Structure 1
Amino acid sequence: MQEDRRVFDVAIVGGGIGGTMLGAVLARHGVRVLLLEGSGHPRFAIGESTVPETTFGLRVLARRYDVPEIEHLATHGALRRQVSSNCGVKRNFSFVYHREGEPTRPDECTQYPTWGPPLGPDSHYFRQDVDAHMFHVAVSYGVTAHTHTVVDDVKFEEDGATLVTRDRGSFRASYVVDAGGMRAVLPERLGLRQEPPYRTRSRTIFTHMVDVRPFDRVAPPRAEHGMPSPFSQGTLHHMFKGGWFWVIPFDNHSTSTSELCSVGVNLDLDRYPRPDDVPAEEEFWQHVRRFPSVARQFERARAVRPYVSTDRTQFASQKVVGDRWCLLPHASDFIDPLFSSGLAVTVMALNALGHRLIEAVRQNDFDTGRFAYLDHWTKRMFRFYDDLVSCSYVSFDDFELWNAWNRVWTITTLYGTNAQNQAAVAFEKTGDPAGFDALELPPYRGLQGVDNPWVERLFDQARDAVLAYHAGESTKERTVARIYELLRESELCPAVWGTLDPQDRCPAGVFTLWPLMKILLWGKFRSPRHVRGSYFTGGGRMVGKEAIQAYTTELRAGGSQVHQTARDMWVNWNRDWTRRPEPRK
């Protein structure tokens, strides 16, 4: 009996958000799961900002595998109530362009909204709280978990693997999932790391701060910049030639119990090589002082953690699956924090891996071919995000170039998110989890709509136009014109959006209830043949039902959130950020 406590169906190495969600999913379906975490909880982790494809994917994951606690991470309201009030709200992606030595110009910013209630808004995860919560959820479903347990070696045999730990002896498992990060054990043990085959070459300096001023107090007035959502209530990107800052506040709503803000600067490694003799803190502030508007936002800010400065952040592995093992995406490859792709790819992989492992355990068949889908689509998504991010760094050369290229991303995001929603709508109608199998069939496979030939063609041709500009083979003006031409020819842009109007710098408008209905109506009745029938086929009834549920949930809880939830269903702008105290002098 004592020996059985060291024998498991699946061993997961790494107790972060990916490993714990997978553990909960597997244990919920009767799999004997061992989870080994080298450190403990709470602990610092990166990957703090969600995107709509992540949050919609979490809804799918929770409903497909009947783990409702995962859905608590999918909207800010549920996250705040069920997990942690230290997390921030994310109502938008805001991008503000900067020139060295000049204040930002009011017409050089763009914005893309996240979804309003009940499907949103998105969140800024205070990861030490979120990861600890999911760790406890996994244990509650029956996962055997050990923290402060370092895995020194993994020895594979024909019928499984032996995991050798530093202080707790050895464990046996039929299958091993590595949910570590860049220093994951299996890539090192199996010699999987390779020179990253990616165009993106960037590095990062980051920390957590207090007293970061809301950018709405620094930016030109709303009447001049015209953005529909407060900068401070989303993930803010300060762009400049060769780099960008992130500002991810956790203290940006009236019920937040945090004073923290995650900040970092990402730099093109070729334009800004890492200096040998400049401390991380000093280099960070050197870049802040280059841009007056950024400097004003940070003028009273103070770090509460040591600054971390990285070498090249991209890493890669030769493959994702092998005989009796699999890497989760954040153990396999990484591109860049831009567009918060890490969590999105992880959720996609968990959705595909969960049912494969459950069936493998039930059938005692762990043939590598069963998991080949994970290898192909994880790698394909990293190639896509490399193209997206590397071309974005190129577009930072000029605001008009960014303003055009950014629209391609908004379209791929729309179709990727709607693919997840199509599966959720099918499940809502039938209650049959088999409906989620559509996410592994054309045109919904992967993320960002890349499996749709029309979306793929638009993206590939726009990418080639940006790369031609980068190579000196095209002018900025020709490149911008070409991107708008491709967007027009694709017919993928909803008629209710301003995608084809360069003056509309928030072309998607807002995702409150009525604009959402207009997108659904366009898709169902007015979209071109290659869209109609595959996307936007329904969901209005589900959204209405969940809107009522969201309102009644807040009503039962009481307090100011009842008003805010009702308001946010219909109105995008608010002044909640003014209720937070000014930075101390």
Structure 2
Amino acid sequence: MPPKPNLNQYDVVVLGAGFAGSLQAMILAKQGMRVSIIDRDEHPRFAIGESSTPAADFMLEHLVERYQLDELRPLTRFGSWRESKPELACGCKRGFSYFWQGDEDGFKASGDHRNELLVSASESRAVADTQWYRADVDRYFLDVARTSGVSTWVNTVVDSIAHVADHHWQLSLTSDHRSETLQTSFIVDATGGNRLLLRKLQVKDATETLLTHSSATFSHFDNVRSLSEWLDQRGAKQSDYPFVAEDSAVHHLFADGWMWNLGFENGRTSVGFVFDESQNTHSQPRARQHDLNAVIAERPVLRELLGDARLASFPGRVLQTDRLQRLASVAAGSDWAALPFTAGFIDPLHSTGIAHSISGVQRLSQILLAESGASRHSLLQMYSDALRSELRLIDKLVWGCYVGLRDFRLFTAWSMIYFALATTFEHDFDAFSGKDPSMGFLAADQPRVTQCVSSLTSKLSSLIQQDALKTDHEIDAFIAEIRQSIAPLNRVGLFTPPIPNMYHRTAAK
């Protein structure tokens, strides 16, 4: 008789039970692998990274079809989510909206929408993207992973990780005051900022090479005032808007940072303020110096915007961060890999987190299920290099927008680079049905893209050093250069909407 298998022997161990780690685990388990998830906490829990995008929906839908993840199918559109899974809180996201609060009294409406920008990604609420209430969503993903055959260890401390030999890991755990030992051939680090495996492997940190430098303070609130009502009082011409303002990832822009506002159908609103740290001479991040309540108290327009909002019972506190950015020098080896959110993070400005995580899961799944030996090692190296290139690309896209906080015209123009790349990636992914595991997120694998963004970044950096963006003429000239540079990537009429700054349809169908 063959020997009995070790009950604690796995093909893959996933560290971290957020939605991405659970998604990775369930895909591998549904394809016959023995998979385990380990997490030091349990659900429900508070998490930031709540705004989906068309790319996230396309990729999740592709994974649902390819790996028969029927339990996740409703989550690919707002309409089907609300109809089939109303117990999972979410919000409607028709696109992105930006309101420039740079005037003395905050946002000032005008007929030409010079202080607002709305970019639509869907034509109705039924097919809209979603804001993810992560306490519900992450718990649901883990529940689906369990029913897919994944062994789960929650409230479990990883005491040690030993790399015994190539494709032979041994993990010592403490769970419910009991000690356990797990063995596995492969580890996926999905622990995000905790970077459990990366720290064990002493992977060098490369954060200081990034351009963006920001910190944040945030929480969830109840009874937040209607944004449409506030805009009406400010005289905004909302009849020109491509969607109801609340049905979006709302950004209120200031010279020193920006506030997000994401509404959920359960009445809660995610509110956070992100500080630009580039001019901070203090040793402590500004988010540590001023929590969200202090930021609101100091800015009359925020008090006006939020009205009688009160802190929600969950999480029941305001959170403050150090520097948001992080970047690992390597994201995979021959028998391990980090998901994108663990390999690095830039900033919440462009809502790239959910989509980038799903993109990483999609590519890593193809590698682990299709390849072994030397070919797998080579593809994992490509995966590692790709993640780092994508994070560096996102860094440039975000950094330029922070520079643009000095003038809304500059912010709007630089954000068009992101929308050009996002729509290029969406169209290409749709055309290839996600079959290419080397397809870079936001088209970061295309030389014309990286060269274009790098060239514009260098030019903007040079203009800043020369202090050469002080006049309307200088700003207009640079905006014209951006427009010309991204023309080959501009598939959706960026820079030329029929109504200024109002984009009614951009995403791939």
TM over 0.5: yes
Encode CA deviations 1:538-584: one digit per residue, 9 max, x unaligned.
xxxxx6xxxxxxxxxxxxxxxxxxxxxxxxxxxxxxxxxxxxxxxxx
Matching residue within 261, 268, 271 for 2:279: 271
Matching residue within 243, 252, 270 for 1:238: 252
Partner of 1:194: 205
* 2:104 matches 1:95: no
Higher mean Cα deviation, 217-226 or 14-23? 217-226
Partner of 1:526: none
Instruction: State, as a whole percentage, how many aligned pairs show the same letter.
Output: 24
Alignment of 1:136-155 (within 5 A): 136-155=143-162
Specify every segment of 5 or more residues in structure 2 that has no aligned partner in the other structure, as ranges. Answer: none
- Matched residues in 1 for 2:326 and 2:486: separation? 33
Note the aligned Cα RMSD (angstroms): 2.7
Deviation at 1:417, TM superposition (A): 1.1
Letter aligned with residue 357 of structure 2: T
Partner of 2:184: 173
Encode CA deviations 1:65-97: one digit per residue, 9 max, x unaligned.
232333332211222234445211111210111
* 2:269 matches 1:261: yes
Taking a change above 3 Å as real, the CA distance of residues 419 and 118 of structure 1, as seen in their structure-2 partners, is: farther
Partner of 1:15: 17
Letter aligned with residue 335 of structure 2: R
- Does the aligned pair in 2 maintain the 1:348–1:447 contact within 8 Å? yes
For 1:77, what is the secondary structure of its paired residue? helix
Taking a change above 3 Å as real, the CA distance of residues 80 and 273 of structure 1, as seen in their structure-2 partners, is: farther
Encode CA deviations 1:183-236: one digit per residue, 9 max, x unaligned.
121122111141402011111101111111121111234427843222211110
- Matched residues in 2 for 1:307 and 1:280: separation? 11
Matching residue within 41, 44, 48 for 1:42: 44
Higher mean Cα deviation, 218-227 or 309-318? 218-227
Q: Which has the higher strand share?
A: 2
Partner of 2:386: 377
Matching residue within 123, 126, 135 for 2:133: 126
Letter aligned with residue 505 of structure 2: V
Higher mean Cα deviation, 494-503 or 167-176? 494-503
* 2:221 matches 1:209: yes
* 2:104 matches 1:104: no
Specify every segment of 5 or more residues in structure 1 that has no aligned partner in the other structure, as ranges. Answer: 251-255, 425-435, 517-535, 537-542, 544-585
Encode CA deviations 1:408-436: one digit per residue, 9 max, x unaligned.
22211111111121123xxxxxxxxxxx3
Partner of 1:288: 296
- Matched residues in 1 for 2:126 and 2:308: separation? 35
Q: TM-score, normalised by structure 1?
A: 0.78
Letter aligned with residue 484 of structure 1: A
Letter aligned with residue 99 of structure 1: G
Letter aligned with residue 448 of structure 1: L
Higher mean Cα deviation, 336-345 or 265-274? 265-274
- Matched residues in 2 for 1:458 and 1:479: separation? 19
Taking a change above 3 Å as real, the CA distance of residues 450 and 502 of structure 1, as seen in their structure-2 partners, is: farther
- Does the aligned pair in 1 maintain the 2:421–2:489 contact within 8 Å? no
- Does the aligned pair in 2 maintain the 1:25–1:354 contact within 8 Å? yes
Taking a change above 3 Å as real, the CA distance of residues 452 and 240 of structure 1, as seen in their structure-2 partners, is: same
Deviation at 1:447, TM superposition (A): 1.9
- Matched residues in 2 for 1:470 and 1:353: separation? 39
Aligned pair count?
490
Partner of 1:581: none
Deviation at 1:242, TM superposition (A): 2.4
- Does the aligned pair in 1 maintain the 2:389–2:444 contact within 8 Å? no
- Matched residues in 2 for 1:368 and 1:353: separation? 12
Higher mean Cα deviation, 118-127 or 305-314? 118-127
- Matched residues in 2 for 1:40 and 1:407: separation? 40
- Does the aligned pair in 2 maintain the 1:281–1:307 contact within 8 Å? no
Letter aligned with residue 42 of structure 2: G
- Matched residues in 1 for 2:474 and 2:403: separation? 15
For 2:406, what is the secondary structure of its paired residue? coil
Partner of 1:390: 399
For 1:313, what is the secondary structure of its paired residue? coil
Q: TM-score, normalised by structure 2?
A: 0.89
- Matched residues in 2 for 1:78 and 1:502: separation? 31
- Does the aligned pair in 2 maintain the 1:216–1:230 contact within 8 Å? yes
Matching residue within 297, 304, 310 for 2:305: 297
- Matched residues in 1 for 2:323 and 2:490: separation? 38
- Matched residues in 2 for 1:383 and 1:489: separation? 19
For 2:350, what is the secondary structure of its paired residue? helix
Deviation at 1:336, TM superposition (A): 0.9
Partner of 1:497: 493
Alignment of 1:461-500 (within 5 A): 461-472=455-466, 474-476=468-470, 477-488=473-484, 490-492=486-488, 497=493, 499-500=495-496
